[in-house]
Structure 1
Amino acid sequence: MTTRRIALCTWSDPAYVDPEPRQAADILRARGHDADVLVWHDVDVDWGAYDLVVVRSTWDYFDRLEEFLAWVDRVDVGSRIINPPSVIRWNVHKGYLAELGAAGVAVLPMLVLPRGSVDVASSIRATGWEKVVVKPAVDGGARQAALGETTSTALVQHAERIVALGDVVVQPYAPGIEAGEVSLLLFDGELSHAVRKVPAVGDYRVQAHHGGSELPHTVTEAELATARAALALAPEGVVYARVDLVEHDGVPTVMELELIEPDLFLRVDDRALERFVDCIEAQLG
């Protein structure tokens, strides 16, 4: 077997060192490859020396968006990066959800407030929704999400603060989130595993750093059909994907497509890590 060089990219925050890229690198090395875990914005790395560059836990890209997108394009010239640049650019702004909805995929309704919008309060009230979630269109981990009544002064003030910095998405609150958000993990279009992320009592945010918990989940045919329909609309083939769904009006509804740097929850399934590494190897040709 020919030894190939593979880079798995992460971030540099010492507060949380993601174990998944290192675990994948260990298996790749055991299979005879040269695998490195690198910080994506390390200026000393020769990315062209790698046969494949895999975006993993680059969880600071939201704050360095233009730098990150320029890095993606640059790396893809000298090497090959996954997911592809066209997929990353499409997925980086939550406006892609409107495209899914227009194509018939079940998504929550949404209002996009462009950066610098004025009269935010009346725009939110005009939706007719009673309770909404407001969040930046480019963000992750519910870092700047806020839940409240459309008449809430605090909610409107939060929306005004973040719309001064970038586009903002407003969506009606989906009570189904209280039973959990289901994440389907697909590699090369095939279902690998799934997890139900349940928020802490009294919260709606499912992330572990907000007190959420993870439970095993058996995927339904309807959930898988929705996930595949959504991924089919990506501008190019998707190598790895996490599709986040919530039950809304009795229908599996897309909350997010995570196609850039998702937590893949490899820890919840004994074979998930091996399947992910298989997926990486398949990209080497």
Structure 2
Amino acid sequence: MPEPDPEVHLLVDALAERGVRAGVVPWGAGTDWTTAGLTVVRSPWDYTEQPQDFLEWAHAAAAMAPVVNPPNVLTWNAHKGYLAELAASGVPVVPTRFARRGAPGGELVATLAGFAGEVVIKPAVSAGAVGVLRVAADAPRALAHLGQLTAVGDAMVQPFVESVVTRGEISMLFFGGVHSHTVRKVPAAGDFRVQTAYGARTVQVEPTAAELAVAGAALAAVPGEVTYARVDLVEYDGAPALMELELIEPELFLPYAPGSAGRFADHLVALLS
């Protein structure tokens, strides 16, 4: 990707300190994946533009050498329909409704009618706040945006969570199912997006017992082994709730947590062993 990865070099260096050689290469054709003892998916930020190609590559590469996270987990996590599955299994999830690709106007109206006040509308396959709109649920612009998104893919609608502005979003990082570190992402004044590209600030924090419990429940419901995970939580109705579970290409916030790159590297070395 043209945008530089802010942290992959930390992982490569940590692996080198442990006697493991790692190379950073693009997914897809051009690499002999049989030469890798382990392929670690890290920053394929363009996968949302070609998700089927990406998932087909992951399955093909995994037939040659181990890939983590494994293709079945990547496939499950690529579409945010997984949020409905997690909610059905009892995980506290921010209420989410989905609109299918090509849905008629009546379905879109009904989807938005399930909310009062402001909502956040975004593609069901997305990353980095691309295609996200914060808008009143009954505004003409909400229906128009939902129509634009469903013209090309599935979309999702969630209530706008005020605590994102007042307290930020919690991101909890896990390696091999073990908690490594947690950060709080606070949007810039006047914004609601928590990505640093939009001026948000990030600080390391300690998670609460309630946050750890929600994260543990979410990870326990994943249909496969998880080598790395980021659990994004917000405060909803006074308690932590899952906003997203990132298992494909999450930023791991390694620069904000001393020793975290080493912890990730240690787990990868254990997998190689």
- Say yes or no: TM over 0.5: yes
TM superposition score category, shorter chain reference: over 0.9
Tell me the residue number matched to 2:114: 127
The structure showing larger relative contact order (alpha-carbon pairs under 8 Å, at least 6 residues apart) is 2
1:238 to 2:226 alignment: yes
SS at match of 1:98: helix
C-alpha distance in 2 between matches for 1:44 and 1:176: 45
2:125 to 103, 123, 138: 138
C-alpha distance in 1 between matches for 2:115 and 2:262: 47
C-alpha distance in 2 between matches for 1:191 and 1:261: 18
Tell me the residue number matched to 2:160: 173
Cα deviation code 1:211-263 (max 9, x no counterpart): 11102211100000100100000111111100000011111100000001100
CA RMSD of aligned residues (A): 1.2
SS at match of 1:35: coil
Structure 1 pair 152/188, CA: closer, same or farther in 2 (3 Å)?
A: same
Tell me the residue number matched to 2:81: 95
1:156 to 143, 146, 152: 143
C-alpha distance in 2 between matches for 1:278 and 1:126: 49
- Greater shift after overlay, 262-271 or 115-124? 115-124
Give the alignment of 1:160-239 within 5 angstroms: 160-178=147-165, 179-239=167-227
C-alpha distance in 1 between matches for 2:217 and 2:177: 11
C-alpha distance in 2 between matches for 1:31 and 1:191: 21
| Alignment size in residue pairs | 271
Structure 2: stretches of 5+ with no match in the other structure? none
For normalisation by structure 2, the TM-score amounts to 0.96
Decide whether the 8 Å contact of 1:124 with 1:150 is kept in 2: no
SS at match of 1:37: coil
1:194 to partner: Cα distance:
0.5
Give the alignment of 1:105-120 within 5 angstroms: 105-119=91-105
Decide whether the 8 Å contact of 1:244 with 1:256 is kept in 2: yes
2:48 to 37, 57, 62: 62
1:132 to partner: Cα distance:
0.8
1:185 to partner: Cα distance:
0.4
For normalisation by structure 1, the TM-score amounts to 0.92
- Whose strand fraction is larger, Structure 1's or Structure 2's? 1
